Structure 1
């Protein structure tokens, strides 16, 4: 980027901040949806300048809205804009230690609030549950980022994936995730299994979505029992979702370790967990 382009972008950011800062409270809920639609149109038209301008406006709106949120929600917003895994971990460590003012990469001052790791994890999980309970996931990149944030915050709390604070309280495991996991553990860990996981995390194969209006259900969470049991409602189960899939892996792992039967199966599940996180990192940023 040359100096003229850099100056122009700075001018756009300053203008956006000035206008949005005064008007953000008056914006209608549909404004962000309209912005996303316009960004998609600009991308389709290959109009990079228009797309860049719209993204600056969106980023500025999100920044102003984030500042009005509780500390743990602000942190999630920051983590969603942090592509490097190591940088997210450093951010989490500083936030957990009480926050403060730190110097960014470009010499800028970064203000980090203090926040509880459990609050961050639970908030990310709540957002995930809302997104994954829909027939169609509106933003797979955001979904992948939220899964990473939840898992990384949980891991930093000490107990990792087996920490009892991470239990979502599922009485029965979801059928789609269990069936897919059963298929994975029947195969030897390697490229084939990793490819299967990647396709599902991207919304293909077992992760493929159906219409929002299919069988008359819109945004309803459907959890069925393990393999082959009929649904009381008769409705089709949701496809495999990234957050729920990792939740299922953790639940099964916890059961194995509790029974002191760890071995090849546990190692296989840990391999699946690790590779799923790596794949989600590729999808997220």
Structure 2
């Protein structure tokens, strides 16, 4: 039997030691010694509320007393599976002959084989546990363990992606494509029925055929889900989804009045309308661009209302908002300005202007706002 290279064996063993202890559950080290034991016991004894989706691991934070019982339970069950996967990988690699130059390739091949058999049986907390273990590896400055766990995570995501509908797969590919020209080429290939695509890094991949409208709607659904929350944890992902939606819609060629882009709004969102009113009152330039950039980055009118995140949607306004000190029309607290909804509002207003043939300075101003916002989001996204 061949001897596993020392560095690779150490990485696997370290990863396993981060998910196991001498007694008790294999994932006890996920919660100990990093956090106090008392909150951990509380989490374990509390009944879970709802199952968590496997494709969207939650961020637990550093304070275990604030962890949701369902998240704790999912983390433990997912951690047990992570430990089992790593143990099987270690067992397989002990029987392999290889030198140092093939270590990374061997890890990827073994991960593909082990995870391929288990992907349909994975717990909802598998990715959550992996993310938590990667964070621990970063804190320990253990790059080898972190690299190994990231290979496992990427392999799981690849397998899950293959099970998604074609338009969902394409949205994922577009979010990973940095160059605008490459995204446009990818969209053209997809609309033409799919095929082989060479990405920004020079790697070739097989892409499915999909409908551009389905791609735009999928990105829009994800945007609506993210922007409806009190806080946005990942603005980079949000910016990428906005870009994907806008570029897919633009490639459909229907323009602003295309009925396929209609989300069924009867009234425009108050926060976005208020902010847009401020923008059209100012001359286009650096100052206006800075205002838009601040809001897109979650500042000023776009800042998450953290102190009132737990308040209900019917909470009354504490102070007047709007233009020139006017209060809210509805009397309810408006949400912060969100990038996706803001561009949607700009497009709707522009569509109304063009539909009534009253284009002029205002239309040119709004076009400038639209293009400037997309440029800012492109800078944020990649």
Q: Please say whether Structure 1 and Structure 2 have the same fold, judged by a TM-score greater than 0.5.
A: yes
TM-score (norm 1): 0.86
Match of 1:80 in 2: 175
The answer to whether the 8 Å contact 1:99/1:114 transfers is yes
Mapping for residues 86-235 of structure 1, pairs under 5 Å: 86-102=181-197, 108-211=203-306, 214=309, 216-217=311-312, 228=326, 230=328, 235=332
Q: CA deviation at 1:174?
A: 0.7
From the superposition, tell whether residues 261 and 148 of structure 1 become closer, same or farther in structure 2 (CA, over 3 Å). same
Match of 1:252 in 2: 349
From the superposition, tell whether residues 183 and 7 of structure 1 become closer, same or farther in structure 2 (CA, over 3 Å). farther
Q: CA deviation at 1:216?
A: 2.9
Mark the runs of 5 or more structure 1 residues left unpaired by the alignment.
Answer: 219-225
Q: CA deviation at 1:255?
A: 1.0
Secondary structure of the equivalent of 2:123? coil
Which digits, 9 at most, give the CA deviation of each residue in 1:201-252, with x for residues without a partner?
A: 111111110238635338xxxxxxx8656465x5422101111000000001
Please give the alpha-carbon distance, in whole angstroms, between the structure 2 residues aligned to 1:167 and 1:31: 37
Match of 1:223 in 2: none
The answer to whether the 8 Å contact 1:200/1:206 transfers is yes
From the superposition, tell whether residues 194 and 37 of structure 1 become closer, same or farther in structure 2 (CA, over 3 Å). farther
Please give the alpha-carbon distance, in whole angstroms, between the structure 2 residues aligned to 1:283 and 1:44: 26
From the superposition, tell whether residues 229 and 94 of structure 1 become closer, same or farther in structure 2 (CA, over 3 Å). same
101-110 or 135-144, larger mean C-alpha shift: 101-110
TM-score (norm 2): 0.65
Match of 1:221 in 2: none
Q: Which has the larger radius of gyration?
A: 2
The answer to whether the 8 Å contact 1:35/1:58 transfers is yes
Secondary structure of the equivalent of 2:205? strand
Please give the alpha-carbon distance, in whole angstroms, between the structure 2 residues aligned to 1:262 and 1:155: 20
Please give the alpha-carbon distance, in whole angstroms, between the structure 1 residues aligned to 2:247 and 2:141: 35
1:61 aligns with 2:156: yes
1:240 aligns with 2:337: yes
Secondary structure of the equivalent of 1:160? coil
Secondary structure of the equivalent of 2:196? strand
The answer to whether the 8 Å contact 2:182/2:199 transfers is no
Please give the alpha-carbon distance, in whole angstroms, between the structure 1 residues aligned to 2:299 and 2:140: 26
1:24 aligns with 2:119: yes
Please give the alpha-carbon distance, in whole angstroms, between the structure 2 residues aligned to 1:194 and 1:104: 31
1:262 aligns with 2:262: no
Please give the alpha-carbon distance, in whole angstroms, between the structure 1 residues aligned to 2:116 and 2:348: 44
The answer to whether the 8 Å contact 1:134/1:212 transfers is no
Tell me: higher relative CO, structure 1 or 2? Use CA pairs within 8 A at least 6 residues apart. 1
Which digits, 9 at most, give the CA deviation of each residue in 1:140-195, with x for residues without a partner?
A: 11111111110000000002344221111111111111111111111111111111
Please give the alpha-carbon distance, in whole angstroms, between the structure 1 residues aligned to 2:329 and 2:123: 40
Cα RMSD, aligned residues only: 2.7
Q: CA deviation at 1:48?
A: 4.7
Please give the alpha-carbon distance, in whole angstroms, between the structure 2 residues aligned to 1:193 and 1:178: 16
Which digits, 9 at most, give the CA deviation of each residue in 1:94-113, with x for residues without a partner?
A: 00001123456777542111
Which digits, 9 at most, give the CA deviation of each residue in 1:67-103, with x for residues without a partner?
A: 0011111111111111111111000000000112345
From the superposition, tell whether residues 64 and 280 of structure 1 become closer, same or farther in structure 2 (CA, over 3 Å). same
Number of residues paired by the alignment? 275
From the superposition, tell whether residues 267 and 124 of structure 1 become closer, same or farther in structure 2 (CA, over 3 Å). same
Q: CA deviation at 1:56?
A: 3.0
